[in-house]
């Protein structure tokens, strides 16, 4: 018996030594992933793997194709990033080794994706051909193809794809004005539930962080569409109907991103389409309770994790400015101009830092959210989206 135990322990030690050696060969010591993330370099089809604790770049990885409208989701262990490119590319990246595990071209024009509640499925939202494709997260093998064709034969772009509890995905059809739920809880052949009265031209959507409400913005109408996912028998209802009624319509320079919504306490802060305003919505009643005049047309309206501040960036031609709203007073407490083309903001999980991409200056700035001091400048080639691994544990991101 002792001989067998000795053999077992020797094998265990050898295995550990081999594991450490393999990490050393990869140029990295064993480490966790909780303070890592990715910066998208949109012009060069590359990404930078970053560490927020030291505000440094660990490595740069190339070969991701067209990243002009890229987004990222993470595996539940935070090790693998799934990167969705505008060219229809879906790429699985190991952020610990900096190696591309697999890359496929699954469509002609895709705009984003989601990962299922259990982490086993990755879904991609496509403009061309319109529809959603779902893949095995380990192998990237195709699991399901869901063409976005409405009852009257309309082929639609798909937008607003998010994961929700129960191993389901929700998305909307831009051209048909519909919202669909794809349920993978019983098998890998989804059950599809369709809501045909979403409204005219849904352009983006969000799901609340508890996974209950799906809200789609409408480009063709002055309002938003809401679906209570706990009571889907009630169907789609309209909220903020006519929020711009009686006011002059302005040209829309860039569509706002609803996934960059801000929730602070019982209120949601949303960008108003084409307006120089942030709307404040009471989440209990889903009625407007206020609005804040801001510098330009807001694109992302993002809350610091504690909900005390809301940070706002803006569409061209006023995209050189950031504004910070103090939630209790609903006042703008800071306006500053980091540079042209501020495209994205990402908070560290506890909110002490915010990372800001300044595309035309080829850099990412890191700010202290208490003092507004710029802590670090990181060089990057035309940076856009910044995605930290904490997203792995949040519904809808």
Q: Sort residue 21 into left (φ over 0), alpha (ψ -120 to 50) or beta.
A: alpha
3-state SS class at 360: helix
The model's pTM is 0.89
CA dist., res. 172 & res. 174, Å (int): 6
CA dist., res. 61 & res. 51, Å (int): 15
What pLDDT does residue 174 have? 94
What pLDDT does residue 152 have? 87
What pLDDT does residue 54 have? 96
What pLDDT does residue 181 have? 98
What pLDDT does residue 154 have? 86
* CA distances to 21, 265, 359 from 211, in Å: 42, 16, 32
What pLDDT does residue 209 have? 85
What's the 3-state SS for 200-247? CCEEEEEECCCCCEEEEEECCCCCEEEEECCCHHHCEEEECCCCCCCC
What pLDDT does residue 151 have? 84
What pLDDT does residue 100 have? 98
Which residues in the chain show pLDDT less than 70?
A: 1-29, 243-261
CA dist., res. 27 & res. 23, Å (int): 6
């Amino acid at each position: 018996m002792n001989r067998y135990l000795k053999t077992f322990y020797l094998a265990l030690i050898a295995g550990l030594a081999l594991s450490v050696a393999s990490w050393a060969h990869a140029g990295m010591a064993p480490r966790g992933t909780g303070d890592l993330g990715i910066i998208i370099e949109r012009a060069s089809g590359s990404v930078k793997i970053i560490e927020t604790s030291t505000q440094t770049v660990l490595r740069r990885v190339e070969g991701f194709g067209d990243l002009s409208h890229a987004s990222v989701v993470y595996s539940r262990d935070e090790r693998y990033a799934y990167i969705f490119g505008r060219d229809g590319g879906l790429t699985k990246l190991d952020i610990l080794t900096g190696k591309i595990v697999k890359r496929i071209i699954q469509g002609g024009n895709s705009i984003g994706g989601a990962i299922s509640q259990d982490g086993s499925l990755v879904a991609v939202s496509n403009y061309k051909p319109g529809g959603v494709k779902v893949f095995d997260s380990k192998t990237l093998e195709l699991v399901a193809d869901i063409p976005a064709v409405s009852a009257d034969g309309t082929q639609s772009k798909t937008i607003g794809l998010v994961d929700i509890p129960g191993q389901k995905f929700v998305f909307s059809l831009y051209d048909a004005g519909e919202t669909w739920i794809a349920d993978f809880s019983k098998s890998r052949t989804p059950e599809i539930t369709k809501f045909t009265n979403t409204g005219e031209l849904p352009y983006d959507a969000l799901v609340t962080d508890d996974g209950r409400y799906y809200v789609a913005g409408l480009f063709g109408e002055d309002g938003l569409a809401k679906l209570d996912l706990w009571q889907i028998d009630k169907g789609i209802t309209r909220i903020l109907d006519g929020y711009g009624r009686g006011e002059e319509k302005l040209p829309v320079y860039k569509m706002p991103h609803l996934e960059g919504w801000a929730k602070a306490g019982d209120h949601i802060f949303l960008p108003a389409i084409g307006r120089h305003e942030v709307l404040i919505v009471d989440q209990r009643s889903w009625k407007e309770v206020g609005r804040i005049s801001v510098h330009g047309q807001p694109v992302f309206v993002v809350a610091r994790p504690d909900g005390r501040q809301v940070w706002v960036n803006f569409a061209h031609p006023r995209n050189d400015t950031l504004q910070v709203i103090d939630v209790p007073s609903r006042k703008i407490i800071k306006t500053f101009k980091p540079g042209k083309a501020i495209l994205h903001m990402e908070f560290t999980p506890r909110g002490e830092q915010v990372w800001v991409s300044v595309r035309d200056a080829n850099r990412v700035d890191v700010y202290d959210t208490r003092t507004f001091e710029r802590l670090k400048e990181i060089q990057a080639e035309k940076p856009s989206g910044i995605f930290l691994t904490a997203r792995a544990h949040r519904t809808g991101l």
